[in-house]
């Protein structure tokens, strides 16, 4: 193997020095640069590609890679794109004599989608604008030169602009993304999964979606932050069982970095999929008990819902949820009280002080409590065999139940 590499390097040296005398002075710097870059690539590519030692093929590869490595300095047109507040300002750039490099057309489309995100009525008129069609054609002609970051944002933007699925320019961008999936950084793949999977499902882009999910699953070890794990579990996990398994493994690895909101999102995601995965549930429960971070009312309600939906028993977690929820009960709505009582009933776990507070909450809102919410609270009490401790409170509660139900029956 070493002998083959030495022989190929010798060929490269001999071919790199074979420059015509008349052009030797002018070509010398380029030859040195090319040889230096070739030397770095030969060790990885020449052993696997029979034609990799030819200067012509190497030059082609270098030119192709140059597109993604050379980032021009910010131009005036970049600042105009960033500062634009109206679609017309962006469309005027096409006829304003500005010099557009390969990314400008993509950046204009991305900014257009942002400006029109809350103005869906303007999208139809934009499709009829000749300048917009010219912009699409320009992107289509330069798509191979667009950098990775703008490319994935461009695809999301074309989806949000509601281009028809049969649009040639949209299909061209989708195909380019498919070709580059292996070269995209994991953060780009995660961005696509988080922002575009719903559009891909709606528009029938099944091939791109399938390849994206496979790439995410194969490269799961590249995930470095908790936010990416949580986002992928919610957006892409339900679409791929192998990917979801990998994400659960990464969740176990990074769970110490999770804050209360991320723990909540993971639990709610598992509950929404009815996925009772014991290892992540145990890890999350441990951190909920051990870490003293404060839990907001919304987080507490979602945690109660998730544990109730999954039927996962963790007494210490329930004790903390009940203790932290108790001060929030006066500020809860009737629906929140009903859902919370139902969650604890599903867990078959009773907190006397918390349920006494639920009774008082219902009595304080006797005139406005909806019958469905009152019925849910009553059923939760029945599941747990709970009755208010004070006789007068018990009489008031059941009198209210009879009064409300009599008018409905």
Write out the two tokens for 21: 């005398």
Q: Where are the beta strands (DSSP E) in 71-141?
A: none
DSSP reduced 3-state for 314: coil
Per-residue pLDDT, 72 = 52
Question: Does 41 have pLDDT greater than 50?
Answer: no
Per-residue pLDDT, 111 = 92
pLDDT digits (tens, 9 = 90+) for 251-260: 999 999 999 9
Residues in the chain, total: 409
Question: Does 230 have pLDDT greater than 70?
Answer: yes
Nearest Cα to Cα of residue 132 among 98, 165, 162, 92: 92
How far apart CA 213 and CA 200 sit, in angstroms, is 12
Least confident of 35-49, 107-121, 234-248, 312-326: 35-49
Per-residue pLDDT, 162 = 87
Comparing 330 with 74, the larger pLDDT belongs to: 330
Give start and end residues of each alpha helix (H) in 311-384. Answer: 315-325, 334-346, 352-364, 371-384
Question: Does 409 have pLDDT greater than 50?
Answer: yes
Question: Does 333 have pLDDT greater than 80?
Answer: yes
Q: Where are the domains of the chain?
A: 76-184, 295-408
How far apart CA 139 and CA 154 sit, in angstroms, is 10
Q: How confident is the model at residue 31 (pLDDT cuts 50, 70, 90)?
A: very low
Mean pLDDT calculated for residue range 205-215: 95
Nearest Cα to Cα of residue 139 among 115, 180, 112, 108: 108
Comparing 14 with 265, the larger pLDDT belongs to: 265
Q: How confident is the model at residue 76 (pLDDT cuts 50, 70, 90)?
A: confident
C-alpha pair distances (Å), 269 with each of 97, 238, 247, 272, 299: 51, 9, 12, 5, 13
Per-residue pLDDT, 5 = 57
Question: Does 177 have pLDDT greater than 70?
Answer: yes
Question: Does 43 have pLDDT greater than 70?
Answer: no
Comparing 405 with 5, the larger pLDDT belongs to: 405
Average pLDDT, the chain: 83
How far apart CA 122 and CA 132 sit, in angstroms, is 13
């Amino acid at each position: 193997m070493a002998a083959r590499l030495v022989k190929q390097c010798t060929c490269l040296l001999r071919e790199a020095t074979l420059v015509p005398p008349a052009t030797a002075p002018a070509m010398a710097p380029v030859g040195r640069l090319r040889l230096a870059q070739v030397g770095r690539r030969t060790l990885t590519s020449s052993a696997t590609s029979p034609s990799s030692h030819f200067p012509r093929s190497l030059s082609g590869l270098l030119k192709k890679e140059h597109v993604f490595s050379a980032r021009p300095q910010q131009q005036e047109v970049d600042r105009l794109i960033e500062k634009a507040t109206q679609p017309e300002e962006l469309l005027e750039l096409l006829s304003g004599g500005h010099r557009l490099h390969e990314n400008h057309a993509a950046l204009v489309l991305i900014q257009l989608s942002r400006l029109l995100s809350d103005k869906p009525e303007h999208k139809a008129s934009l499709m009829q604008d000749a300048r917009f069609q010219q912009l699409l054609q320009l992107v289509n002609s330069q798509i191979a030169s667009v950098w990775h970051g703008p490319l994935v944002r461009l695809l999301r933007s074309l989806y949000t602009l509601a281009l028809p699925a049969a649009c040639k320019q949209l299909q061209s961008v989708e195909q380019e993304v498919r070709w580059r999936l292996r070269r995209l950084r994991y953060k780009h793949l995660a961005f696509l999964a988080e922002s575009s999977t719903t559009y891909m499902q709606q528009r029938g882009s099944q091939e791109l979606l399938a390849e994206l999910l496979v790439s995410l699953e194969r490269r799961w070890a590249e995930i470095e932050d908790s936010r990416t794990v949580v986002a992928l579990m919610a957006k892409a996990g339900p679409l791929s069982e192998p990917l979801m398994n990998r994400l659960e493994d990464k969740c176990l690895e990074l769970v110490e970095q999770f804050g209360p909101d991320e723990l909540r999102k993971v639990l709610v995601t598992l509950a929404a999929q009815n996925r009772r995965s014991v290892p992540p549930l145990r890890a999350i429960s441990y951190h909920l008990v051990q870490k003293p971070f404060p839990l907001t009312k919304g987080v507490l309600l979602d945690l109660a819902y998730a544990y109730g939906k999954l039927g996962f028993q963790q007494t210490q977690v329930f004790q903390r949820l009940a203790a932290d929820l108790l001060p929030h009960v006066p500020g809860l709505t009737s629906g929140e009280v009903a859902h919370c009582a139902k969650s604890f009933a599903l867990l078959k776990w009773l907190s006397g002080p918390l349920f006494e507070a639920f009774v008082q909450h219902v009595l304080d809102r006797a005139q406005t409590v909806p019958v469905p919410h009152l019925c849910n609270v009553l059923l939760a009490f029945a599941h747990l065999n709970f009755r208010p401790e004070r006789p007068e409170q018990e009489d008031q509660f059941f009198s209210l139940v009879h009064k409300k139900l009599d008018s409905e029956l």
